[in-house]
Amino acid sequence: MAENSNKRNQLTDVFRLVLILMVIAIHAGIFSANSLLSFYTVDGFFRVAVPVFFIINGFYFQKQVTDFFKFKKWFKRVVLLFVSWQVIYLPLYLPVRDINANHLAVFFSELIFGYHHLWYIAAMAMGGVGLYFLRNRSYIIFICIGLFFTGTILQYTRVFLKPDSLYYKVFSQYWIFRNGLFFGFPMMYIGSCLARNKFIQKVRVDKLMLMLVLGCGVLMAELTFVYFFVFKGDSYHIDFILSLLLLCPAIFIFLMKDTGVYFKSFNTKNLALICGAMYFIHPYVIFFLTLSETLSCNEVYVLTVVITLLLSTLLFLLKNRLHFLL
């Protein structure tokens, strides 16, 4: 176990827990009592979590999925993961009351693109398909830039539409822009590009620190501009933040540059698997906790973290029997 542990980047595995805590904070609506603080955290700095996860996926996809057999095996595993959790969450998005055209449209969109947080798995599958079939294409970087900017435009379109219009209802559907085409594929390409060009080894520490500081500064400036001049105090959740194209790769490179072995007798892959389980499980925990109207958002967050960690550890212990869930 110690040998396997040494081969992994332990800091990256440990940081996954920090990223998961950010994701849970987003879904629990932490700091909702303070709209400005909530925006800069929930819709701001915490949004680094999902792009970094996609970059990690793209990095290891590039290094491990080297032929069609491995790609097919990887894709089948992702599809099985998606279908399994979609079935588990079916009670939360299956329309059983007041069934109408709108409810059915939302249901089928969630069925295809993923319920709530499960959009990530569908996006990862689409991103992997794009990476495999467009590998070694010199123009892929321009495609990814164009796709991400298109997603950004689609995200902000709803802000300039009348709330009671049909167009507003259409562009308010997250699957329109937050999907594998506009988000998953471009972010996974960044990870793939870092692996293919060996940027981890090439980037100097002083330049990396500059990227991190600059990325945080640009993110702060972008959030300020969006909040005060685009949203003008209105409340919208966002996923596409242009400054994350600089900050998230810098965070990933920073983590990967640290090759220290902090746990000699513990395989940090186990922690990574537990974090994956936390991602899948936590919305159910939030759902049941919010049935009680006496709990504040911050209390829901703390309880969700504790309960999810316990359930995820249990799922990890059963991973050999429930391998299709992790």
Picking from 13-22, 68-77, 137-146, 280-289, which range would have the lowest pLDDT averaged per residue? Answer: 137-146
Indicate the average pLDDT of the chain. 92
Confidence of residue 1 (pLDDT cuts 50, 70, 90): very low
Span 261-279, average pLDDT: 89
Confidence of residue 7 (pLDDT cuts 50, 70, 90): low
Q: What is the pLDDT of residue 111?
A: 92
- Domain tally, the chain: 1
Give 43-54 pLDDT, tens digit per residue: 999 999 999 999
Q: List phi, psi (to 5°) of 165.
A: -90, 160
Cβ neighbours of 262 (radius 10 Å): 12
Name the H helices within 68-184: 68-88, 90-93, 101-113, 119-133, 140-157, 166-171
Q: What is the pLDDT of residue 72?
A: 95
Confidence of residue 2 (pLDDT cuts 50, 70, 90): very low
The C-alpha atoms of residue 179 and residue 50 are separated, in whole angstroms, by: 12
Q: What is the pLDDT of residue 4?
A: 39
Task: State yes or no: pLDDT of 6 exceeds 80.
Answer: no
Q: What is the pLDDT of residue 258?
A: 85
Give 117-157 pLDDT, tens digit per residue: 999 999 999 999 999 999 888 889 999 999 999 999 999 99
Confidence of residue 5 (pLDDT cuts 50, 70, 90): very low
Q: What is the pLDDT of residue 85?
A: 97
The C-alpha atoms of residue 263 and residue 5 are separated, in whole angstroms, by: 8
The C-alpha atoms of residue 113 and residue 173 are separated, in whole angstroms, by: 11
Give 33-85 pLDDT, tens digit per residue: 888 999 999 999 999 999 999 999 999 999 888 899 999 999 999 999 999 99
Question: What is the domain extent for residue 205?
Answer: 2-325
112: amino acid identity, one letter: I
Task: State yes or no: pLDDT of 317 exceeds 80.
Answer: yes
Give 199-244 pLDDT, tens digit per residue: 999 999 999 999 999 999 999 999 999 999 999 877 788 999 999 9
Span 194-199, average pLDDT: 92
What does the buried/exposed string (b/e) look like for 99-111 if buried means 16 or more CB atoms within 10 Å of the residue's CB? Answer: eeeeeeeebebbe
